Structure formats: C-alpha cells, structure tokens
Amino acid sequence: MYGSRIVGIGAFVPDRVLTNADLEQMVSTSDEWIVTRTGISERRIASDDQATSDLAEVAARRALESASVDPNDLDLILVNTVTPDMFFPSTACVLQERLGASRAAAFDLMAACSGFIYGLSVADAYLRAGLMRNILVIGADTLSKVVDWSDRGTCILFGDGAGAVIVQRTTADSSILSTHLYSDGSKGKQLFIPGGGSRQPASQKVIDEKLVTIRMPNGNEVFKTAVRSMEDAAMAALKANGVEVSDIDLFISHQANARIIYAVAERLDLPRERIFMNIDRYGNTSAASIPIAIDEAVRVGRLKRGDLLLLTAFGGGVTWGSALIRW
C-alpha cells in the first residue's frame, strides 16, 4: 500500500514589479479601486525574453534542492500552465532537457488556475498506484503575455510566477490525504481566450481583434461561481477525511481575489487568522499561485510539519478542486 508525500518545494517570480500606481498611468483606474475590489497592490511581470519555462526552471531547481532529489531520479515532470512556451513540444519536455532529467516522462496539463491541484491529484494517483517514485509538479504561468493591457477589468488582476513541488512515493502514511476535482464546461465562456487555437487560428485579424487575450465578460458571475465552487470542494475534502473546519491549521486558496478568498473562508466559518494570502504582492498568477503561497508560508513559519493544510482553487474551463494535506 503506497501513499504520497511532498518532500520539496520551490518558487520563483520575475524581478519586475508593476504597481497599481503604474497601472494608473496605463488605464482608467486607481490604487484605491484595485485594492478595494481585489486586494492587489502590485504584481510581478516577466521580461520580454522570459518565457514560462524560464520561471518554471528556477522553481523546479529550488524544489529539487529542497528535496535533495537528483533530476535523474525523477520519473515524471508535470507542468500545469495555460501559457506554454509553444504549442509543442510541451513546456514539461523543455524542462526535462534543461534539468537533465533523462529518465523522466513529461507532459503539460491545462486546467487554468486549478492546474496545480489537478497536477497534484495526477501525481498522487501515479504514486499510490506504485507506478513511479518521484514526480515534479509545477504550476507556472506568464499571463502578462496574454492580457489586454487596455482592459482595466482584467489587466489589473494578473501576474507572472512559478511554483514547484517534489511529490514522492511513501510506504508510510500518505501526507496527501485526498484530492477532489470538478469541472463545468457550460460555464467556459465566463473566463477564456477565444483565439489562437484551431477554432480561430493565429492571423492578423485575430491579433487585431485581441482574440488572443483573456476575456472575462462578467466578473460578478465569475465571483459567484468561484465562491460556491471552492466552498463545495473544500467541504468535500473535509467530509472525505472526517475532518472539522476547526481542525484546519492553514487555508490556502488560489490567489484570485482577496474578496473571493474571504468569502469562501466566511462560508466555511474559518477564522481569518488561518488564511494565508500573498495576492497583495503577486496578483493572480494562475496555476502558480498555490505553490508560490505554500513556499512562502513554509519560509515564514506559517506552515509547519504536521499542520493540516486545506487547498482550494477555481479556474477557467471552468474547473475547480481541493486537496487536504498533512504537511
């Protein structure tokens, strides 16, 4: 009987900081408006020559070092992203070569902002089945490259970054207690990028009409769907493990919007002091947000071995999910 355990973690964000004051010079907005509605004060932006794989590589190396795992001991590299370097080869394959992980299989997974929990669930399943020993799970995105910087409803939200964990097979008790995945394709156009794929291939017309940038027609609908979905997913994780809300030591949600996170916590009757947030400094980094937050929570002492950690996420698709982890 096998289980899985997170044995290493790492994160990376670009150097460039884009503040709300900077955005005031770009679109009709204000620092007060952004902070009140989102909780975001600044975000990190990749340079023109930084691709998703560049951010992911640094996070991956830090996770490998943290776990004392050699790249040649990796069995799988799983990159969760909606901003791959290119259609193919996968960003995971790009990293397999760069890291020198000669034995590892590699593929990308796309579940938008829920990507890290989806990837963690896939890794957990492989390890519990006894098929692999060491899996590198990465959440990485450079959403700044697919943002319409004239749309104040979306450009204020997103930042770039990467986070990674090493998940290892164990014969002891599993630290990943359960994962729970959900989707609803009927709500896909709440948050999407319409162009650039086979439906509307890249062309001058597609570019001129900004069809390769993020669309969010109704932010209020996204807000309501996200809150309901993450509450339900969180409750599913608690119920599956016979755990009460009062047992949770730390709650880390996808860092989409401070108001969403607080709303979910309030519905769960979870005290704010058990919430970890860093959205004020990084914005919404999509699949990277949860591992970046976990990495920081560990470094500042908010998350310690033995703590019960509840994760929730919601993203385009729409997708959502949860995980309960004994850290």
CA distance 48 to 194: 23
Q: Which residues pair with 170 in a beta bridge?
A: 3
Tell me which DSSP letter residue 131 carries: S
DSSP string, 241-261: TT--GGG-SEEEE--S-HHHH
Q: What is the pLDDT along the chain (327 residues), one digit of tens a residue?
A: 899 999 999 999 999 999 999 999 999 999 999 999 999 999 999 999 999 999 999 999 999 999 999 999 999 999 999 999 999 999 999 999 999 999 999 999 999 999 999 999 999 999 999 999 999 999 999 999 999 999 999 999 999 999 999 999 999 888 999 999 999 999 999 999 999 999 999 999 999 999 999 999 998 999 999 999 999 999 999 999 999 999 999 999 999 999 999 999 999 999 999 999 999 999 999 999 999 999 999 999 999 999 999 999 999 999 999 999 999
Q: Cis (ω within 30 of 0) for the bond into 89?
A: yes
Provide the pLDDT for residue 174. Answer: 82
What does the pLDDT read at residue 172? 86
Half-sphere exposure in the Cβ direction for 130 (13 Å, CA): 3
Q: Provide CB contacts within 8 A for 324, sequence distance 6+.
A: 176, 177, 178, 237, 238, 240, 241, 243, 308, 309, 310, 311
Contact 261, 279 (CB under 8 A): yes
Q: How far is residue 154's CA from residue 169's CA, in Å, rounded to a whole number?
A: 40
CB 156 within 8 A of CB 24: no
- What's the pTM? 0.96
Predicted pLDDT at 38: 97
User: Could you give phi then psi for residue 275, rounded to 5 degrees?
Assistant: -95, 140
Which CATH number applies to 177-326?
3.40.47.10
Q: What is the pLDDT of residue 80?
A: 98
Q: Which two tokens stand for residue 46?
A: 């990749």
Alpha carbons 20 and 32: distance in angstroms, whole number: 9
Strand positions, DSSP E, the chain: 3-12, 16-19, 42-45, 76-80, 105-109, 134-142, 160-170, 176-183, 250-253, 308-315, 319-326
The per-residue pLDDT for 110 is: 97
Closest CA to 104 of 77, 133, 139: 77
Note the pLDDT of residue 1. Answer: 84
Give the residue numbers annotated as catalytic, written as ranges: 113, 254, 284
Instruction: Specify the domain boundaries for CATH 3.40.47.10 within the chain.
Output: 3-173, 177-326
Distance from C-alpha of 29 to C-alpha of 192, rounded to nearest angstrom: 23
CATH number for 3-173 (one of 3.40.47.10, 3.20.20.70, 3.90.420.10, 3.30.930.10): it is 3.40.47.10
* Contact between residue 261 and residue 268 where contact means Cβ atoms under 8 Å apart: no
pLDDT of residue 173: 82
